[in-house]
Every structure is written in C-alpha cells, then in structure tokens.
Structure 1
C-alpha cells in the first residue's frame, strides 16, 4: 500500500470535518496545520449559542440578501449623534458577506446618507497601497 502524501492527508481530514457543518448554503471546512501538527479545525455554522440553520430548516443569511442596514453613531459620553459615521473595514466585510445591499447612515436628527454597498466593492479602502491606490 502506498502511503498518502501530507497534503492529501490533511485535505481528507478537512473533508471529515464537514460532517459537523450546519450551514444549508455552504459546506466549507478547514484545518490549520503548523509544523506538521493540527492546531485547529473549523466548519461553517452559527456562532456559539445560536441555533443552526440546519436545525431551523432555513438559511438565516439568505433572509438578509438584499436587506438594508440602518447605522447611527452616538458619542458614548454625551449620547449626541456623531456625524460622518462609517463602518470600519471589518464591518464592511461582514455587511457585504451578509448580502446587505444598502446602508443608511444618520448624520444629524434630520440628515442621513444612503450607501449602496457595491461602492465598497468598487472602492475597496482595505486595498489602499496594494494595487497602486
């Protein structure tokens, strides 16, 4: 019997991890290996303490596709609105991954901005300095 190479060995383990996956849309799984030791395994599923889509019988992410997020920033001390509030790079990624298409940001009691999240994809500020920006 021929011994399996390391890469395929680890990929087979990653495939096995999929048996724990609880997502109805994606069946991604992974393992992290360093110095030939498995450090961690992971699979797509709900955060700890949340019901899994496979238990609910529907995909909660699909329900967010095309949704609108309303964002309002407030000073933690005074409670006053913070004009010019924007999502950070990590929040933008999570919003995009959730399939949310519109973000409405309150600037004052009467003024707000409407952002089409496609703009974040076209003008990805996380890539500044990486592609000649």
Structure 2
C-alpha cells in the first residue's frame, strides 16, 4: 500500500478538524463551536459557528447579552449552518453534521427535524438526557470522535 495513503486521515477526522477551524471564526467567547453539514458524497454543504445574526454587533465587540445564564446575542453553530441551507434552498435530508460540541436540546431538535441522520461531535458538553432520548427515538445516530 502507498505510504501516503496509510497516513491519510479518515473522512470523519478530516471533517472534525475542519470543524475546529470553523469554530475559530466564532464571535462569542463563551464557547467557540463549529458545525459542518456534509452530504452522502462527503461534500460540505454548509458551515456555521457561534455568532450574532448578520448585521448585528458581535459579543467580541460589545459584550454578551445575558438572560438566564445564556448569551442571547449568539446563534449556535448548528443553527447557522442549518439556516444557511434553508435560505439557499439546500436540502440536508440524510446528511451528517459535524460539531465541535454535542448539540444543545434546541439544536438537537432542529437537526432531527431537518432530516440529518448522523451527528459527529468532539466534546460532550452539557449532554441533555432528553436530547439523547429524541435522537434514539428518531433513529439519528450520534458518535463521539
């Protein structure tokens, strides 16, 4: 076997490394999270990171807008990636999503509802038991890398 191919990283590791780079674009320092949506042909269809809505001030510029212990100025990385697809008319049915952190409950619901079939994540941050239950009942796979 070709030595170069032996050292080649897997698709999962490749996308997770890219996801970590996407997270570096984040503008809310409470959590740098990146998300990448990938289709069945291993093509990236969307990326997202934690940040404000388009045209609004960023946490990095004006600080956090806190409510109930959460920064409400920020859109989560998964939401940003999904909203871009919705805006552009890109189907995510049967896609996979790579996320640096396990999705929150609301992002989990959005992922399930959008038709994504597999979540890959690096960090198990605040994993919600109900999110796990929803994923299992919806037959959405989740894998820690």
Q: TM-score, normalization: structure 2? A: 0.42
Q: Which has the larger radius of gyration?
A: 1
Which protein, 1 or 2, shows the higher relative CO under an 8 Å CA cutoff with sep ≥ 6?
Answer: 2
Report the TM-score, using the length of structure 1 for normalisation. Answer: 0.45
